[in-house]
Amino acid sequence: MKYYLIAGEASGDLHASNLMKALYAEDAEADIRFWGGDLMQEVGGTLVKHYRDLAFMGFMEVVMNLRTIFKNLSFCKKDISHFNPDVIIYIDYPGFNFRIAKWARKKGYNNQYYISPQLWAWDEKRIKAVKRDIDAMYVILPFEKDFYEKKHNFPVHFVGHPLIDAIYGRERPVPKNFRKDNNLDDRDIIALLPGSRKQEIEKMMKIMLSVLDDFPHYQFIIAGAPSQDREFYAPYLKKKQVHLVMNKTYDILSMATAALVTSGTATLETALFKVPEVVCYKGGRISYEIAKRLIKLEYISLVNLIMNREVVKELIQAELNTKNLKQELTKILQKDKRKQLFEDYFNLEKKLGGVGASKNTASLIVKSITKR
């Protein structure tokens, strides 16, 4: 059967790549065409467009790139028509995917959504589009099932969280010579996860590195995003205390003592690696003011949202400054605070369920389109 997948950012690339592996296991004749990234390309299939050409951060950035976005939408529709898939699988990325799904529904394609858009955070009225255009929804957060089924009477499948598979299903352990290969010394590691988009990395790195002199007994490792070139990070590597390791975020987290993490999927990944973290976020002023009025959540990190309380400290916008960051990083390096975080992290993991999200989803997709 023919599968068309659309992922528009780094986290979607990760989860879609694992879903693709599971689809190939379920359907030996699977023909997969996709929008995504390097991880999906490594699995197989045909890459149509890389997510690095799709990622625009914030409201203003989207407005400034509307012409490119509309060109991509038009191209995607033509490509789907030419490929004529048995199913289109959307991976998060709602701004783009909802528009394609609306068009695809009118054309009679089977629409299935893996990893729900965060309608529960903002723009809840989009539930109308889900009910109208989506044949099946696969959710990965436990509270999402109640949101769809109890609040909006739309049946969904809770399949577990794919990060459990991605982290505990890794094919190899961290290499014993990790420090030597990356020119690291014996000092404990503080991981810096500034995001994957250029705009957010540039905003985050300056403030993250502002605490260097207060922690001379640690080395700071920047987790280089696969969507960026090594040269992009050069301005942040002027001090010997700072190192860059490209495309090995999980290896870095497995070695880290603590982490400074930009909000997003990385906050949950860090928690699952049992690394004490401070969540950092600072967006453009206009974009942030708009988002603050639209988003209805008490927290921005997935860790706190899932636990429904503050487990990890969130420093947002004006609160993200050198003084506060130094204070919070100092706290998570202390024994008592670390012990409490570890206990909270284990409880978080229990809430997310066990391994098998990718396999569960692939099995449900293949069965549904086979019946159809």
Tell me the mean pLDDT in the region 105-122: 92
pLDDT at 265: 86
Residues 363-372: tens digit of each pLDDT: 999 999 988 7
Residue 47 has pLDDT above 90, yes or no: yes
Identify the residue with better confidence: 65 or 304.
304
Identify the residue with better confidence: 61 or 153.
153
- Give percent of the chain above pLDDT 70: 91
pLDDT at 53: 75
Tell me the mean pLDDT in the region 179-196: 94
Give the Å distances, CA to CA, from 365 to 42, 184, 312. Answer: 22, 45, 35
Residue 29 has pLDDT above 80, yes or no: yes
- Is the CA virtual torsion 66, 72, 73, 78 positive or negative? positive
pLDDT at 141: 92
Residue 293 has pLDDT above 70, yes or no: no
Return the CATH number of 178-351, one of 3.30.2020.30, 3.40.50.2000, 3.40.1190.10, 2.60.120.10: 3.40.50.2000
Tell me the mean pLDDT in the region 49-71: 67
Domain boundaries, the chain: 2-168+355-371, 178-351
Q: C-alpha angle with apex 15: 14 to 18, nearest 5 degrees?
A: 90
Tell me the mean pLDDT in the region 143-162: 94
Residue 1 has pLDDT above 80, yes or no: yes
Instruction: Indicate the burial class of 100 (C-beta count within 10 angstroms; 0-12, 13-18, 19 or more).
Output: buried
Residues 252-268: tens digit of each pLDDT: 999 999 999 998 889 99
Residue 54 has pLDDT above 50, yes or no: yes
**Of the candidate ranges 40-49, 166-175, 310-319, the one whose mean pLDDT is the lowest:** 166-175
Share the mean pLDDT of the chain: 90
Tell me the mean pLDDT in the region 283-303: 65
Instruction: Indicate the burial class of 67 (C-beta count within 10 angstroms; 0-12, 13-18, 19 or more).
Output: exposed
Topology classification of domain 2-168+355-371: Rossmann fold (3.40.50)
User: How far is it, in rounded angstroms, from Cα 160 to Cα 144?
Assistant: 11
**Of the candidate ranges 67-81, 281-295, 306-320, the one whose mean pLDDT is the lowest:** 281-295
